[in-house]
Amino acid sequence: EDKVVQSPLSLVVHEGDTVTLNCSYEVTNFRSLLWYKQEKKAPTFLFMLTSSGIEKKSGRLSSILDKKELFSILNITATQTGDSAIYLCAVPKTGGFKTIFGAGTRLFVKA
Amino acid sequence: SQTIHQWPATLVQPVGSPLSLECTVEGTSNPNLYWYRQAAGRGLQLLFYSVGIGQISSEVPQNLSASRPQDRQFILSSKKLLLSDSGFYLCAWTASGETQYFGPGTRLLVL
């Protein structure tokens, strides 16, 4: 059965800390992995990863994919209170119509 | 630019009452449309998706149904709500790619 597993499920850090969020997957005919950030309402797109070893970066956020070991990490450096959110990892299934989401990592950054 | 609307934003309904949630997309044609439910502390569960008018695929057998009467309109319905239907309902769309764009969501509480 296809699945996407995220860890940890929740995390509390202080401002300025660096965090690493993990996502492992088992999905047949893998094509891409996506990261979303969900604050109070709708998830917003962060990154899409398709190739192993190529880091995607946006400001203090970066992500990388390992297609051999079937996982991805999302790094956030110098965390700020505005980074507090649920971070979702998602893998589209073959055909692109269905996407499997992980349960998410709930990050709380203390001032 | 594309925008996605959902309403209502919040809803409190008694058990056994009917439900109708609406989602509309602007600025694009022939989108793939999705309904997800997110229970508290959980990931996104795909309920329905649609690749065109009148075409609905159901992922989870339950007392919910979906309809797509127009290209950019997606409706989630129930004839009789259950307590377990409480949750956060998200509508999303994709064009030809795999990145999903989410609406603001409807928070449903069934009492």
**CATH number, domain at A71?**
2.60.40.10
Two tokens at A10?
């929740």
Q: What is the CATH number of the domain that holds B60?
A: 2.60.40.10
SS (H, E, C) chain B: CCEEEEECCEEEECCCCCEEEEEEEECCCCCEEEEEEECCCCCEEEEEEEEECCEEEECCCCCEEEEEEECCEEEEEECCCCHHHCEEEEEEEECCCCCCEECCCEEEEEC
Residues of chain B with pLDDT > 70, as a percent, come to 97
Chain A CB contacts of B41 below 8 Å? 103, 106
Residue range B47-67, pLDDT digits in tens: 999 999 999 988 876 789 999
Q: What is the pLDDT of residue B99?
A: 87
Chain B nearest-CA distance from A85, in A, is 12
Chain B nearest-CA distance from A96, in A, is 6
Q: Kindly determine whether residue B90 and residue A42, on different chains, have CB atoms separated by under 8 Å.
A: yes
Domain that holds residue A85: 3-110
Q: What is the pLDDT of residue A62?
A: 97
Please tell me which residue, B46 or B97, carries the higher pLDDT value. Answer: B46
Domain that holds residue B7: 3-110
d(C-alpha A26, C-alpha A97), whole Å: 17
What value does the mean pLDDT take over residues B76-95? 94
Q: What is the pLDDT of residue B12?
A: 97
Q: Out of B45, B49, B98, whose CB is closest to A34?
A: B98
Q: What is the pLDDT of residue A80?
A: 97
d(C-alpha A110, C-alpha A108), whole Å: 6
Q: Does residue A24 belong to the interface with chain B, where contact is any CB pair within 8 Å?
A: no
Cβ-Cβ contacts under 8 Å for A40 (sequence gap 6 or more) = none
Q: What is the pLDDT of residue B61?
A: 63
Q: What is the pLDDT of residue B40?
A: 75
Enumerate chain B positions whose Cβ falls within 8 A of a Cβ in A.
32, 36, 41-46, 49, 51, 57, 59, 90, 94, 97-105
Number of residue pairs across A and B with CB atoms under 8 Å?
53
Q: Kindly determine whether residue A97 and residue B51, on different chains, have CB atoms separated by under 8 Å.
A: yes
Q: Does residue A25 belong to the interface with chain B, where contact is any CB pair within 8 Å?
A: no
pLDDT surpasses 70 at B98: yes
In 3-state terms, chain A is what percent helix, strand and coil (to 5)? 5, 55, 40
Q: What is the pLDDT of residue B10?
A: 95
Each residue's pLDDT expressed in tens, for chain A with a length of 111 residues: 889 999 999 999 999 999 999 999 999 888 899 999 999 888 999 999 998 888 999 999 999 999 999 999 999 999 999 999 999 999 988 765 788 899 999 999 999
Q: Kindly determine whether residue A103 and residue B101, on different chains, have CB atoms separated by under 8 Å.
A: no
Chain B CB contacts of A42 below 8 Å? 90, 102-105
Exposure on the CB side of residue A90, measured as CA atoms within 13 A:
29
Return residues 57-86 of A near B (CB < 8 Å): none
d(C-alpha B22, C-alpha B67), whole Å: 10
d(C-alpha A6, C-alpha B34), whole Å: 22
Chain A CB contacts of B59 below 8 Å? 98
- Phi first, then psi: give them for residue B94, nearest 5 degrees: -135, 155
Task: Please name the amino acid found at residue B110.
Answer: V
Number of domains in chain B: 1
Number of domains in chain A: 1
